[in-house]
């Protein structure tokens, strides 16, 4: 057997070993005999080197005309498209989600890359009349400097690209610390950026643990923007650390997303939506459907149909095209999921399918859990309130739309929600009154498109959005410019 590939950090355009001299092994969560690669266990010195390189590169990159930056980014998009299959195969090996979904993850990175390449010829500001004669007013976006990205494992390439592409087109430089579990996709992404012409030091990658690298990634005074996607617990700490020095801080955090099923819904479609929303990515999406609430008149019919479909899901190694659900990301996450299943049982929710580890044969090589559904979940239960991040769905019941909306809002999070109904009045009422950053009608809680803002309210976010043109606001500062060509002193508010 050939020995696994060693992946290095990318600092100033060079692939380098960590100064720690240490590495770690990354294994496939569907088959722990499969070593995806050996990665650098980096330390604070490596982060400092990467930040220094990014600071130096910023001096030139910020002055490259945005359309020229866009041309490089366009080439990166073309190369990601060309290499999509290989990138996706590797992503399934490191993350476990099924190949159809990792192709989607890579495609999201492609979409974001092309979108932001186009921004190179837009980056629109405004021109607006002056209140004085012979004076011109306009706004321009200016970059900030070095951006620090701390990313999670569930979207190994999409999320790093969502942060990188708007940052780069605005003229910033970057240091990325990928999730410990999924460094390969970020290393692949960075390699392509470099090979397609991104200058040395503009995008740097340092792999390793968040606990070790978190502080140096945030507290260095050269870092002007911190963009983090991950748990609310870590996000809160990052927000506090950034506040001291007024760094731009963009946080995308947890979710406890709900699907509302009205009595007039197309039930077959609602079942399709819940199945995909709850068990896609093994429930490990920030937008995963972890609560479904049904009108009392259809709850039984809906539940029976959903359970039948969940039982039929094929769970296994995501490289097999026939598999529909992969493993949990690691042993600890599987224990968390199994722990929540026990909590649900103790709290009196009714376990109606799943609830166990999958064992025997190839299952023993990975971290598999059955697709699990609880019925009779009520608002006082922890499985109603807390993010589980696994293939566990709770079903509750309501009497009328007002109650459904109250239940939907009964969560500290505010990422995504959906309603299945044929009644346009109910759809629009829920769209107005459910307080989330994303809302779907007759579609599951997952399925964002890259040209719309992405993010959430309450404890999901801190008011910023990723994706779409609004993402540019995180990575630029407005400068209002006044050009007076009157040849005399004109005092606004006084001389007009």
Residues annotated catalytic, as ranges: 252, 286
Closest CA to 112 of 77, 136, 78: 77
Residues 262 and 430: beta-carbon distance below 8 Å:
no
Does 102 contact ligand NAD by CB under 6 A? no
Work out whether 254 is an interface residue with ligand NAD (CB under 6 A): yes
- DSSP assignment string, 152-163: -SSSTTHHHHHH
- Residue 13 vs 447, nearer CB to ligand NAD: 447
x/- binding map, residues 438-477, to ligand NAD, per CB under 6 A?
Answer: ------------------x---x-----------------
154 binds ligand NAD (CB under 6 A): yes
Per rule CB under 6 A, is residue 214 in the interface with ligand NAD? yes
| Dist. CA 255–CA 286, nearest whole Å | 5
Cβ 320 to ligand NAD, closest distance in Å? 25
Q: At CB < 8 A and 24+ separation, what contacts does 405-408 make? A: 405/260, 405/429, 405/430, 405/433, 405/434, 407/258, 407/293, 407/379, 408/258, 408/260, 408/293, 408/434
Stretch that binds ligand NAD, among 80-88, 223-231, 350-358, 480-488 (CB under 6 A): 223-231
Q: Kindly provide the b/e burial profile for residues 253-288, where b requires at least 16 CB atoms within 10 angstroms of the residue's own CB.
A: bbbbbbbbbbbebebeebbbbbbbbbbbbbbbbbbb
For residue 180, state whether it binds ligand NAD (rule: CB under 6 A): yes
Select 234 or 404, whichever has its Cβ closest to ligand NAD.
234
Torsion of CA 102, 106, 108, 109, to 10 degrees: 150
Closest CA to 205 of 197, 217, 195, 196: 217
Selected range binding ligand NAD among 98-106, 117-125, 249-257, 485-493, rule: CB under 6 A: 249-257
Report the candidate in 105, 163, 441 with the shortest Cα–Cα distance to residue 284.
Answer: 105
CB of 482 to ligand NAD, least distance (A): 38
Q: Does 229 bind ligand NAD (CB under 6 A)?
A: yes
184 touches ligand NAD by CB under 6 A: no
Which one of residues 87, 95, 112, 150 is an interface residue with ligand NAD (CB under 6 A)? 150
CA 491, 493, 494, 496 dihedral sign is positive
Contact window for ligand NAD (CB under 6 A) among 56-64, 95-103, 173-181, 318-326 = 173-181
When asked if residue 250 is in the footprint of ligand NAD (CB under 6 A), the reply is no
Among 91, 179, 270, 446, binds ligand NAD (CB under 6 A): 179
The residues with which 136 forms a beta bridge, in sequence order, are 129, 483
Confirm or reject binding of residue 417 to ligand NAD (CB under 6 A).
no
Site residues, ligand NAD (CB under 6 A): 150-155, 177, 179-180, 210-211, 214, 229-231, 234, 252-255, 286, 387, 389, 415, 456, 460
């Amino acid at each position: 057997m050939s020995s696994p590939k060693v992946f290095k950090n990318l600092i100033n355009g060079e692939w380098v070993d960590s100064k720690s001299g240490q590495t770690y092994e990354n294994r496939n969560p569907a088959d722990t005999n499969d070593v995806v690669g050996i990665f650098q266990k980096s330390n604070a010195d490596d982060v400092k080197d990467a930040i220094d390189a990014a600071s130096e590169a910023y001096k030139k990159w910020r002055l490259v005309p945005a359309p020229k930056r866009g041309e490089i980014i366009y080439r990166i998009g073309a190369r990601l498209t060309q290499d999509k299959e290989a990138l996706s195969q590797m992503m399934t090996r490191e993350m476990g989600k099924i190949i159809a979904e990792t192709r989607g993850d890579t495609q999201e990175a492609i979409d974001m890359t092309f979108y932001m390449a186009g921004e190179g010829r837009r980056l629109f500001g405004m021109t607006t009349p002056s209140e004085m004669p012979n004076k011109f007013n306009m706004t321009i976006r200016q970059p900030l400097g070095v951006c620090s990205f701390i990313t999670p494992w569930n979207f190994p390439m999409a999320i790093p690209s969502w942060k990188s592409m708007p940052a780069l087109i605005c003229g910033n430089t970057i240091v990325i610390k990928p999730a410990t579990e999924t460094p390969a996709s970020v290393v692949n992404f960075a390699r392509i950026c470099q090979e397609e012409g991104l200058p040395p030091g503009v995008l740097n990658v340092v792999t390793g643990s968040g606990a070790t690298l978190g502080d140096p990634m945030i507290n260095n005074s050269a870092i002007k923007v911190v963009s983090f996607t991950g748990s609310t617990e870590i996000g809160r700490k990052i927000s506090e650390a950034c506040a001291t020095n007024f760094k731009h801080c963009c946080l995308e955090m947890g979710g406890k997303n709900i699907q509302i099923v009205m009595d007039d819904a197309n039930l077959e479609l609602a079942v399709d939506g819940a199945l995909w929303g709850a068990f896609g990515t093994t429930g490990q999406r920030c937008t995963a459907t972890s609560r479904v609430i049904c009108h009392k008149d259809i709850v039984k019919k809906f539940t029976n149909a959903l359970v039948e479909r969940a039982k039929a899901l094929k769970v296994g190694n995501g490289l097999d095209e026939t598999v529909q659900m992969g493993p949990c990301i690691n042993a600890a996450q599987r224990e968390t999921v199994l722990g929540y299943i026990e909590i649900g049982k103790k709290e009196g929710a009714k376990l109606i399918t799943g609830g166990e580890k999958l064992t025997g044969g190839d299952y023993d090589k990975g971290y598999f859990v059955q697709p699990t559904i609880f019925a009779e979940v009520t608002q006082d239960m922890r499985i109603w309130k807390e993010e589980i991040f696994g293939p566990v769905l709770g079903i509750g019941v309501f009497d009328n739309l007002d109650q459904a909306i109250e239940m939907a809002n009964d969560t500290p999070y505010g990422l995504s929600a959906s309603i299945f109904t044929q009644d346009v009045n109910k759809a629009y009422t829920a769209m107005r009154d459910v307080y989330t950053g994303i809302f779907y009608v007759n579609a599951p809680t997952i399925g964002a498109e890259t040209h719309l803002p992405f993010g959430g309210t309450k404890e999901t976010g801190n008011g910023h959005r990723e994706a779409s043109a609004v993402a540019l606001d995180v990575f630029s500062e407005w400068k209002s410019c006044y050009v007076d060509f009157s040849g005399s002193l004109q005092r606004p508010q006084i001389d007009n």
